[in-house]
Amino acid sequence: MTNAQRDGGSLWSARDRADLPCRVNEREWDAVADTFEEDIFNVPANDRLGLIAERVKRFGNKKGSAADIGCGIGRTLPMLAQAFGSVRASDISGECLAIAERKCNAWPNISYHHLDLREVNGSNEAVDFALCINVLLTASLAMRQHMFKSVLAQIKPGGHLLLTCPALESALYASHRLVQWNIDKGMPPAVAQQKASRDASRLDMGIVQLDGVATKHYLREELEDVLRANDLLPVETLKLEYPWSSVFPESPAGMAEPLPWNWMVLAQRLG
């Protein structure tokens, strides 16, 4: 943490910088493969209510198939491999895929696929259940449209997608809590706001700047609307909550609820 952060400046944690990077090419993701555990926030490990694991268990079928779209180094692959007969792991990074394959070599029902979601790919056999954790975050609308189509192409009609995305409401709420925290430390209101500010010049499009990285955040209604536009019917939308320490590493131990969150949507493919 920098001196400015210790002094109550931009206190956004490694989660905000590393969990939500809009890296869009293989070389950028290959560069973080070896430090993935340290640099990239672990969403399933911090899912304090176990919402992801419960849905995987609910839809698990030893005769069925699943996919982890944007699997990284394979954090959720064992969970899927235990629940489904076959699992397809895909990622834009060959280096991340290689690590995932080494880590999950005890699971022979996992296959590994090098996939760039910017290119619609219908060549792979569609699956019954797909997991996609904080992948559709690029600031480019055109690119996100391609990525949504690519995700859709990997799901059977009637199959399900479990999707997590950063919540715009949570980002704004966290800014409010940081202002209040700064005031509690004795800062004048104007200074407290300035210290908590982030570049939000494209906020009307849901783009939040995190350490200079333009990152797409979604309103609940927006995310559900985008899914419907891509022939995916939202079945349930929940807050996937994280502890405050995942956002502000030096937050007070008793920092109150509500907690920060991502949106988690379970959707069914139509058709």
pLDDT tens digits, 141-195: 888 999 999 999 999 999 999 999 999 998 888 878 888 878 888 888 888 877 7
Phi and psi dihedrals of 182, rounded to 5? -65, -40
pLDDT on residue 252: 73
Contacts of 208 (CB under 8 A, 6+ apart): 166, 168, 171, 198, 200, 214, 215, 217
Per CATH, the homologous superfamily of domain 14-169+218-269 is Vaccinia Virus protein VP39 (3.40.50.150)
pLDDT in tens, the chain (271 residues): 222 222 223 333 333 333 334 456 788 888 889 989 988 889 999 998 999 999 999 999 999 999 999 999 999 999 999 999 999 999 999 999 999 999 999 999 999 999 988 876 555 689 999 999 999 988 888 889 999 999 999 999 999 999 999 999 988 888 788 888 788 888 888 888 777 766 555 677 888 876 567 889 999 999 999 999 999 999 999 999 988 887 777 777 777 788 889 999 999 999 8
Query: How many Å separate Cα 255 from the centre of its chain?
Result: 24
pLDDT on residue 220: 94
Q: Where are the domains of the chain?
A: 14-169+218-269
How many Cα atoms sit within 13 Å of 204 on the Cβ side? Answer: 1
